[in-house]
Amino acid sequence: MPEPNAPTISILVSDLSEQGAGRWGGAVRPFLLRQALQHLGHRVEILGFSPQPNPSLVSTPDQPLHQFPLAPYPQLLRSARHLLQQLSGDVIYAYKPKPTSFGLGLWARRWLPPRIPGQGRRPLILDIDDWEMSWFGGEQWRYEAGPKQRLRDLLKPQGAFRTADHPVYLQALERQIPRTDAITLHSQFLQQRFGGLWVPNGKDINHFDPQPYDAEASRRRYGLAGYRVLMFPGAPRPYKGIEDVLAALDLLDQPDLRLVIVGGSPYDDYDRQLQNRWGRWLIALPKTPYDQMPQVISAAHVIVVPQRNTPAALAQFPLKLTDGMAMAKPILATWVGDIPKILGDTGYLVDPEAPQQLADQITALFDQWPEAVARGLLARDRCRRLYSIESMAQALGTGLGQWLRPAGQ
């Protein structure tokens, strides 16, 4: 229940669609922030955009969530105005440095009246969970179109500047990041680039609990009986290293090994490309509601997180890690970004883009299965201590106390 005098928090989300932050329901960063802030006694509302209403996201009196149409400029400005009219938080928490979250937050802080008497303005906190410019080449990206192309990009109905997240806008907003009152982020790479407070992704370890599930029964339920299951419970993309695991399975050539991908890619046809080349090793499970994910993960023998060493991967805190850790699964991952820090000594690590190392480690892991099971149990304990919703709430409460405490305290 919210504390009577605790500030209300408005989380602004740039994309609540099934391809964006709404793709896994309560499992993605803004929803984890909501859980952690509610744990601190705050009322939290989520406001964001989607091309069509996302039916998997439900608004309740205790957890209000407002969706607004995501359209090209200038129609988007109408949606933005409607969002700002409904924004009721004492504190604005923008998720991602994008025009439809951080950009709106900057505008709201400047022009909306304070909610708390005596407050000069509503505080603006920015959460960064990706380096957005990494998708466009990073610091090297430049908009180099000539005058005619610039006019076309600006004026034509399908012009590039009509898109909310054009890199011109992302690059400009990145320069505005120092104007926030506080920054939170979840990786050392992002902290070194932008400063701010490190707040790791928390996991609801009461929900992700292996005790209620029988692994063999789960494998039968999902058609995986008889296989040694390596599972990737996320959306495959080239930088996530799925091809390296499949190449390792080619090297091993053992008929009972399978890589199971849960949910597939909402972005492109990368799933089909993998299936065309490595279909003999792949099993695809459909997108699964958040409340059923623990049962799906219980069917795995091993969770694989084979990230490649790219800027996009370095900036991320793979949620698949804590999915597997909370469910006491052995984790096979790569020496990339924060992965070694997150796992500590509870997982198995190899170099990125090293199929032979993956093959060798898969063999060793199953040859010493009792030790792998013991490491999985240690991983759950580490997740409970360091990467739970409660530990996330503690990091927010300690680091953002001046913005989150009730007025007058």
Domain-embedded: residue 396: yes
Task: Identify the domain containing residue 139 by its residue range.
Answer: 9-202+389-404
| Residues 339-388 pLDDT 10s | 999 999 999 999 999 999 999 999 999 999 999 999 999 999 999 999 99
Distances (CA, A) of 36 to 31, 40, 141, 204, 390: 9, 7, 36, 10, 7
Domain-embedded: residue 197: yes
Q: How far apart are the C-alpha atoms of 189 and 354, rounded to whole Å? A: 22
| Residues 188-236 pLDDT 10s | 999 999 999 999 999 999 999 999 999 999 999 999 999 999 999 988 8
CA end-to-end span of the chain: 20
Q: How far is CA 141 from the centre of its chain?
A: 24
Domain-embedded: residue 208: no
Task: Let me know whether 399 and 349 are in one domain.
Answer: no
Q: In the prediction, which pLDDT does 406 show? A: 65
Task: Let me know whether 221 and 185 are in one domain.
Answer: no
Domain count, the chain: 2
Q: Are 122 and 109 in contact (CB under 8 A)?
A: yes
| The amino acid at 282 | L
Q: In the prediction, which pLDDT does 408 show? A: 47
Looking at the chain, the whole-number percentage of residues with pLDDT higher than 70 is 97
Domain-embedded: residue 184: yes
Q: Is the pTM of this model over 0.85?
A: yes
Q: Are 12 and 93 in contact (CB under 8 A)?
A: yes
User: How does DSSP classify residue 125?
Assistant: E
Helices (H), 255-354: 270-278, 293-298, 311-314, 319-326, 339-343
Task: Let me know whether 20 and 113 are in one domain.
Answer: yes
| Residues 296-311 pLDDT 10s | 999 999 999 999 999 8
CATH at residue 189: 3.40.50.2000
Q: Are 325 and 61 in contact (CB under 8 A)?
A: no
